[in-house]
Amino acid sequence: MNSYEVLYVITPELDEETNQSVLDKFAAIITDNGGEIVKTDVWGKRKLAYTIDYKTEGYYVLVDFNAASELPRELERNFKNDERILRYMVTRKEA
């Protein structure tokens, strides 16, 4: 298994309950596909470096996880299809 981290930005106008459902959805995708979540760090609402879809803030989440090499592609596919996600980046961490 490889170590990965994913940073994703959720649209800021969602309430706390909806943000938690987004976090649970992507955590379930990781665990259901054989991954193991090491740490989830919720940064909360922060100012964006530049405007995205006329939004100046976003809700940031950083997740460290271990998984097989196929999981990041599946995770990116789900990020791309969810309109609540502004930006995402999955990177492999060196051992």
β-strand partners of 3: 66, 93
Q: The pTM is what?
A: 0.93
- The residue range of the domain holding 43 is 2-93
Q: How far apart are CA 73 and CA 79, in angstroms?
A: 10
Q: How far apart are CA 37 and CA 1, in angstroms?
A: 12
Instruction: Indicate which CATH number applies to the domain containing 10.
Output: 3.30.70.60
Summarize pLDDT for 54-63 with one digit per residue, the tens: 999 999 999 9
Number of folded domains that form the chain: 1
Summarize pLDDT for 30-68 with one digit per residue, the tens: 999 999 999 999 999 999 999 999 999 999 999 999 999
Q: How far apart are CA 94 and CA 58, in angstroms?
A: 28
